[in-house]
């Protein structure tokens, strides 16, 4: 069950990133160095492929092992700033207590919390620094806050949190990452990592909302 | 996009393979994971110098692998930090028992990937960061300054010290000394095109230039009207001197570095202009390097780097070096 | 026009002065008339090698002045042959009593100016012409082929022979041998802008390239759709081999030469492609040089040169050289 | 008188070249290497300046000396293909009259003939090779043919010959000079050297026609 969710989530993320190529790519050209889309799609591709392989080989494997393998694969595939950060998310989530068992709502919520904390630990950024964390911290909070909601309502809330977090990066200075070098010139552009994370979160929410009983 | 390439996905592999064949007397190349290391590695009891970074800055870093500079280089995707598995594989090839010094340009991606590699590496290692770009004002953010062309100087000087047998801690300290003594700033007349993106990273008008640009085709701090070489040299020299505050008459290494699309004729002209700009501050370069050393794909433009030399640094700069891109005394 | 320059009329003077300062250990520079010569010249009883040509091909020729290559270089205006007074002044500086060998690229202007200098020179002199560009079909006209990047190879090999003491007639014969053994062809992805003209010499569409281009921003023989590095390498290698007809397995020097605006990453990739193209003919390079050596201002593009080496030529290629742009063994 | 003519002819040539910058420049960009205008204007400038200096210093100097000095100056100033060729014209023409001869119509005609022959000797080109000679050979011939005409009529004929010669280069292949490398692609463009020589000849003809009693 968890393995299957992981697999569908990976594919949903992959498809969504690809569908948003122009938006993501353009943002990193504007306030970064133009590679973010290519880094993330490279990661999404190997993650989807690896999830398939793992799912086929051992459909009942403990999902924390799969998460760890995906994390390591992302680490050696993405590169740049997003590689270690996204990888850290998976490596940390794999260690969250219960991640090896069947994933219930509480476990997933804890995994996201731990994953986001790992990104913070690795990149030493905080909310408002104009990074992917501006999308991910509100997502983690929305998951905790919506503990009692039905899946569709929760998905909608999480999606809204991601969207709002992503939008919040638009009109602020960057204090971490490449965009920080631009000073004032970064204002008016959404952070590319915040955008790609929002796209991924939204895709996963839709997967969940469309019938998944988490 | 106009480039001498085949499939976009094969650019790095094919270019690296060509580099390996062209310099087979000096280096070995692995394509997966991508690493370039000295043919003679490991050198027993010598600290191994490993650098790396996104591709697109050639000859940095692979062109500086060889006697007197790096032991290995890890090229990432274009403008994308390499990954820890490359760094670990490189360390395994070149660690001669005296540990590894990671030479890292200060970008979030490079810092984090090298950090993870260092955490995972079972041997002894230390790292040194370059952050010589004075165009970036540090006050507004916590990212710190970018590492740019002074990285070449650091790799040369620390490489020579490693060759004479300095230990890991001394090399790290020397690296920090070189970095602290260095400042750089760049200007771009055109943007550049990341192969996978297929279009220029930024647009710049026919009468404009980007002042304070980095080495990733990222926009600079200011878009300004195209200026003369003299005006550019004065602005850049002024900004660097404000940062380095050398005493009048102090020995300085000057690196005039092309961004990839600017011909030598203009680089020597800019060097001439920079010399005049320096002279106004009662300074003159005691060591000089002019050429394409730390580039940004096919970008037209250049950067100036000054490094305050002491006697030891001067001697280490002059020491023999034999790499694909820098060679003397051997 | 986007260039790192001051007044258009000062480009050459300032660039040359910068070159002289940057390489003051190697060369002396006169700005009027414009000449660059070895600091140690004249070398007693050594034949003096003097080359020259329009500027805009840097590092050719000034970058090749030094031990093991040229004794002096005469830079003309951009893409304009230098004048006899420069050549005579150069000869006076470097003729060590064994005569002067003029190394001339085959263009009407270069040929006539060097010819007039030779007629006016009171010492002993001889000349050797390079005409390696196989893109130019000789059948239709009497101008002959253009001299392009093989000039670098000739200057290196004949320079080494001069250093070991060969006499004027032998050097001229050797030069002709190197030229006859060499073929080149180039491709341009963009045009270039002569500073005085201020606009690109030709226009080329975003999906087009010029095949068989020379080194003066002149249009090539054919405007063709942009092609892959593999297709370009195959066409060029095919055309050169048809001209040189080397035996399978014959030792070859391959020079992958950038036109000025193409980064090293692409040059190494093109070298990789050229190696594959050669392999189809059961050939492989025994000596390799990749870089910007004979350029066309900031033009994006490259040329390939093959030179059939014999044992003597190989040994002379390998001999020590110490110039601003080429250095090994010293 | 002759020194004065030389001086005015040099200035007329200089002004005319400058006035035709775009046409000349464009042609050498199209089928050469873009420097021809710059080479010729550099030459015209020093020639005009030198003619002034010589005229001021010794208004009655034998003009053959002046021609020789101008020829040497052009040789060290123009460069490229046009430098040695144009210089050869002056160096040869300086030798034509014999020491101290008067410049009458016959002398000038002979000087042009010898100058053009020197260009041919140096460049080894013939009429129809698409070079400056396609302008200059007809000019030399028109001078000889118009020996009996009055100055204005002669000037008109010479000018017409230059113009026709220059135009004749348009639709032919080049077999000498840089344009030869272009093969078929040179067709449709007038040769830049033929154009600049036509501009100079025309300017001098107009100088002569406007009152000069040669
Ligand atoms: N220290 C950091 N903490 C969190 N996120 C960061 C940090 N630095 C960069 N990022 C994120 O990484 C994104 C850029 O990723 P990418 O373009 O793949 O790498 P690079 O910046 O190395 O080219 C930014 O948009 C930002 O969201
Ligand atoms: N062998 C020759 N004989 C006569 N004229 C020539 C010859 N070669 C070139 N030219 C003339 O020179 C002109 C080009 O001169 P210029 O552009 O100044 O020199 P370059 O060709 O060296 O750049 C051509 O248009 C042609 O008229
Ligand atoms: Mg990026
Ligand atoms: Mg990047
Ligand atoms: Mg020319
Ligand atoms: Mg020309």
Contacts of A141 (CB under 8 A, 6+ apart): A161
Q: Are A70 and A26 in contact (CB under 8 A)?
A: no
pLDDT tens readout for residues B51-101: 999 999 999 999 999 999 999 999 999 999 999 999 999 999 999 999 999
pLDDT at C140: 56
Other C-beta atoms closer than 10 Å to the C-beta of C248 total 7
Choose the closest CB to D183 out of C85, C86, C221.
C221
Q: Which of A173-187, C75-89, D120-134 has the lowest mean pLDDT?
A: A173-187
The confidence score (pLDDT) of residue A212 equals: 52
- Mean pLDDT, residues D73-90: 97
Task: Identify all chain C residues contacting B226, using CB atoms and an 8 Å cutoff.
Answer: 2
* Pairwise CB contact (< 8 Å): B77 & A38: yes
Alpha-carbon span C117 to B190, nearest angstrom? 42
Catalytic pick among C61, C67, C216, C293 = C216
Q: How far is CA C222 from the centre of its chain?
A: 23
In the stretch 36-55 of chain B, residues with CB closer than 8 A to chain A read 54
* A80 to B201: CB separation less than 8 angstroms, yes or no: no
Nearest partner of C90 among C109, C103, C106, judged by Cα = C103
Interface A:C, ≥3 CB–CB pairs < 8 Å: no
The mean per-residue pLDDT over the stretch B258-270 comes to 98
pLDDT at C267 over 90: yes
State the average pLDDT over residues C48-56. Answer: 98
**Cis bond upstream, residue B325 (ω within 30):** no
Interatomic CA distance for residues C14 and A90, integer angstroms: 57
Residue B326: its pLDDT value, please? Answer: 98
Buried/exposed code over C293-319 (b: 16+ C-beta within 10 A; e: otherwise): bbbbbbbbbbbbbbbbbeeebeebbeb
Pocket, ligand 1, Cβ cutoff 6 A: A 28, 32-33, 35-36, 39, 80-82, 85, 119, 123, 125, 131-133, 176-178, 191-194; B 80-81, 107-109
Cα B60 from chain centroid (whole Å): 5
pLDDT digits (tens, 9 = 90+) for D135-154: 999 999 999 999 899 988 99
CA–CA gap between residue A86 and residue B202 (Å, rounded)? 27
The mean per-residue pLDDT over the stretch B216-240 comes to: 92
CA–CA gap between residue D180 and residue C213 (Å, rounded): 13
Average pLDDT, chain D: 92
Ligand 1 atom nearest residue A34's Cα: 17
The two tokens of residue D93 are 């023409």
pLDDT tier, B182 (very low <50, low <70, confident <90, very high otherwise)? very high
Which one of B23, B57, B61, B293 is the catalytic residue?
B57
3-state secondary structure of D52: helix
Catalytic residue among C57, C61, C67, C293: C57
Selecting among B23, B61, B216, B293, the annotated active-site residue is B216
Residues C271, B11: C-beta atoms closer than 8 Å:
no
Vertex B73 angle, CA B72 and B79, to 5°: 175
Distances C245 to C144, C236, C248, C317 between C-alpha atoms, Å: 19, 14, 9, 21
Q: What are phi and psi of B245, to 5 degrees?
A: 45, 55
Q: Please choose, from the candidates B209, B249, B254, the residue with its C-alpha nearest in 3D space to the C-alpha of residue B227.
A: B209
- Tell me the three state secondary structure of residue C306: strand
The number of the ligand nearest the C-alpha atom of A39 reads: 1
Count CB atoms within 10 A of the CB of residue C245: 10
Mean model confidence pLDDT for chain B: 96
The answer, yes or no, to whether residue B144 has pLDDT greater than 90, is no
Q: CA B254, CA B284: separation in Å to the nearest integer?
A: 9
Residue with CA closest to ligand 2 atom 17:
D36
Out of A26-40, B140-154, C145-159, pick the least confident.
Answer: B140-154
What burial class does residue B136 get, using C-beta atoms within 10 Å of its C-beta: 0-12 exposed, 13-18 middle, 19+ buried?
buried
- The response to whether residue D186 sits with its C-beta less than 6 Å from ligand 2 reads no
Contact call for residues B133 and B184 (beta carbons, < 8 A): yes
- How many angstroms away from the CA of C201 is the closest CA of chain B? 16
- Contact B79/A at CB under 8 A: yes
Q: In the predicted model, is pLDDT for residue C142 greater than 80?
A: no
C5 has a pLDDT exceeding 60 = yes
Determine the Cα–Cα distance for residues C237 and B126; give it in Å rounded to an integer.
Answer: 47
Secondary structure (3-state) at C200: strand
Atom of ligand 1 nearest to the CA of B81: 22
Tell me which residue in D33, D76, D83 faces C79 most closely, judged by beta carbons: D33
Cα nearest neighbour of C138 on chain D: D181
Mean pLDDT, residues C54-71: 98
Cβ C79–D35 below 8 Å, yes or no? yes
Q: Cα separation of C153 and C166, whole Å?
A: 17
Strand partners of residue B129: B104
* Selection from C158, C157, C165, C130 nearest residue C52 by Cα: C130
Distance CA D67, CA D96 (A): 11
* Predicted confidence pLDDT, tens digits, chain A (214 residues): 578 888 999 999 999 999 999 999 999 989 988 899 999 999 999 999 999 999 898 888 888 999 999 999 999 999 999 999 999 999 999 999 888 888 889 999 999 999 999 999 999 999 999 999 999 999 999 999 998 999 889 999 999 999 999 999 999 988 888 888 888 888 999 999 999 999 999 999 988 766 555 5
- The mean pLDDT of B280-304, rounded to a whole number, is 98
Closest CA of chain D from C166, distance in Å: 31
Cβ of D32 less than 6 Å from ligand 2: yes
User: Which of A22, A34, A185 has the highest number of chain B CBs within 10 A, making it the mutation to test binding with B?
Assistant: A34
Tokens representing B147 are 């590492």
Closest CA to B110 of B140, B131, B125: B131
- Cβ distance C264 to B63 less than 8 Å, yes or no, reads yes
Q: CA A39, A42, A45, A46 torsion: positive or negative?
A: negative
The pLDDT score that the predictor gives to residue B221 is 75
User: What was the ipTM of the complex prediction?
Assistant: 0.94
Q: Is D82 within 8 Å of chain C by CB? A: yes
Ligand 2 atom with minimal separation from the D124 CA: 1
Closest-approaching ligand to the CA atom of A78: 1
Range with the poorest average pLDDT among A140-144, B280-284, C55-59, D2-6: D2-6
Nearest atom in ligand 1 to the alpha carbon of residue B143 is 1
pLDDT tens, position by position, C155-171: 999 999 999 999 999 99
pLDDT at B141: 58
Closest ligand by atom to B54 CA: 4
Closest CA to A103 of A54, A157, A151, A62: A62
Contacts of A165 (CB under 8 A, 6+ apart): A134, A135, A136, A137, A138, A139, A194, A198
First-to-last alpha carbon distance for chain C, in angstroms, is 40
Residue appearing with tokens 């230059």:
D162
Q: Which pLDDT tens digit goes with each residue over B93-114?
A: 999 999 999 999 999 999 999 9
Q: Phi and psi for C285 in degrees, rounded to 5?
A: -70, 135
Residue nearest to atom 2 of ligand 1 (CA): A123
- Chain B residues within an 8 Å CB radius of A84: 84, 109, 112-113, 115-116
**Contact call for D and C: 3+ CB–CB distances under 8 Å:** yes
End-to-end Cα distance, chain A: 10
Q: How confident is the model at residue B138 (pLDDT cuts 50, 70, 90)?
A: low
Structure tokens at B5: 């390439």
User: In this predicted structure, what is the pLDDT of residue C296?
Assistant: 97
- Between A133-147, C21-35, D100-114, the lowest mean confidence (pLDDT) is in D100-114
Partner residue facing C201 (CB), from D33, D37, D85: D33
Q: Any residues with CB less than 8 A from the CB of B165 and at least 6 apart, and which?
A: B45, B46
- Number of A–B residue contacts, CB under 8 Å: 127
Q: Which of D33, D74, D81, D120 to mutate to test the interface with C (most CBs of C within 10 A)?
A: D33
**Would you state the pLDDT for residue B330?**
86
- Does residue A75 sit at the B interface (CB-CB below 8 Å)? yes
- Distance (Å, rounded) from C-alpha B87 to C-alpha B98? 17
Active site residue B293: no
> Contact B18/C263, CB-based, under 8 Å?
no
Give the C-alpha distances (Å, rounded to integers) separating C145 from C136, C214, C256, D178: 6, 10, 20, 10
D30 touches chain C (CB under 8 A): yes
pLDDT tens digit sequence for B14-23: 999 999 999 9
B61 carries an active-site annotation:
no
- Would you list the DSSP string of C106-151? S-HHHHHHHHHHHHH--S-EEEEEE--BTTS-STT-SS-PPP-THH
Task: Specify whether the CB–CB gap between B322 and B40 falls below 8 A.
Answer: no
Position C195 pLDDT exceeds 90: yes
- The yes-or-no verdict on residue D156 having pLDDT over 90 is yes
Distance from chain centroid for Cα B275: 22
Ligand with smallest separation from the Cα of D178: 2
A39 touches B: beta carbon within 8 Å: yes
Q: Is D132 in the pocket of ligand 2 (CB under 6 A)?
A: yes
User: What is the CA(B65)–ligand 3 centre distance, in A?
Assistant: 26
Q: Cβ(D123) to ligand 2 under 6 A?
A: yes
When mean pLDDT is compared across C75-79, C248-252, C308-312, D183-187, the lowest value belongs to D183-187
């Amino acid at each position: 069950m968890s393995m299957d969710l992981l697999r569908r989530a990976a594919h949903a993320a992959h498809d969504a990133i690809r569908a948003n190529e122009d938006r993501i790519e353009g943002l990193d050209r504007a306030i970064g160095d133009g590679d973010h889309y290519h880094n993330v799609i490279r990661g999404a591709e190997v993650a989807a492929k690896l999830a398939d392989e793992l799912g086929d080989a051992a459909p009942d494997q403990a999902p924390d092992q799969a998460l760890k393998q995906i994390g390591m694969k992302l680490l050696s595939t993405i590169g740049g700033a997003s590689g270690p950060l996204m990888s850290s998310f998976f490596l940390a989530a794999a260690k969250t207590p219960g991640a090896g068992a069947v994933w219930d709502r509480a476990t997933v919520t804890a995994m996201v919390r731990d994953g986001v904390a790992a990104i913070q630990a690795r990149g030493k950024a905080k909310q408002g620094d104009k990074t992917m964390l501006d999308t991910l911290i509100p997502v983690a909070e929305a998951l905790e806050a919506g503990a009692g909601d039905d899946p569709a309502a929760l998905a909608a809330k999480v999606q809204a949190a991601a969207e709002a977090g992503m939008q919040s990066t638009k009109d602020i200075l960057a204090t971490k990452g490449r965009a920080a070098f631009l000073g004032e010139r970064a204002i008016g552009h959404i952070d590319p990592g915040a955008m790609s994370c929002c796209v991924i979160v939204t895709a996963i929410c839709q997967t969940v909302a469309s019938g998944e009983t988490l | 996009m106009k480039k001498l390439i085949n499939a976009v996905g094969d650019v790095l592999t094919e270019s690296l393979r060509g580099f390996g064949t062209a310099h087979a007397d000096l280096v070995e190349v692995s394509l997966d994971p991508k690493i370039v290391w000295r043919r003679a590695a490991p050198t027993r009891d010598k600290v191994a110098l490993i650098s790396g970074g996104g591709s697109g800055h050639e000859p940095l870093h692979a062109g500086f692998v060889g006697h007197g500079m790096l032991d290995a280089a890890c090229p990432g995707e274009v403008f994308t930090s390499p990954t820890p598995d490359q760094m670990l594989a490189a360390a395994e090839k070149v660690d001669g028992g005296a540990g590894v010094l990671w030479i890292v340009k200060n970008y979030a991606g490079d810092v984090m990937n090298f950090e993870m590699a260092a955490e995972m590496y079972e041997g002894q290692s230390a790292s040194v960061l370059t952050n010589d770009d004075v165009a970036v004002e540090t006050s507004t953010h916590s990212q710190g300054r970018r590492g740019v062309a002074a990285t070449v100087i650091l790799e040369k000087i620390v490489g020579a010290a490693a060759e004479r047998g300095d230990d890991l801690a001394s090399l790290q300290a020397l690296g920090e000394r070189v970095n602290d003594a260095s400042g750089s700033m760049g200007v771009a007349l055109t943007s550049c095109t990341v192969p996978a993106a297929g279009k220029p990273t930024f647009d710049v008008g026919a009468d404009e230039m980007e002042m304070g640009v980095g080495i990733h085709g990222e926009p600079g701090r200011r878009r300004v009207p195209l200026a003369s070489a003299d005006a550019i040299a004065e602005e850049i020299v002024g900004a660097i001197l404000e940062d380095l505050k050398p005493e009048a008459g102090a020995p300085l290494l000057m690196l005039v570095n092309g961004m990839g699309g600017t011909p030598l004729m203009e680089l020597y002209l800019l060097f001439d202009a920079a010399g005049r700009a320096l002279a106004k501050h009662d300074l003159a370069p005691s060591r000089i390097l002019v050429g394409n050393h730390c580039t940004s794909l096919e970008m037209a433009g250049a950067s100036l780097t000054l490094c305050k030399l002491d006697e030891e640094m001067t001697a280490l700069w002059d020491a023999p070096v034999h790499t694909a891109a820098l060679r003397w005394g051997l």
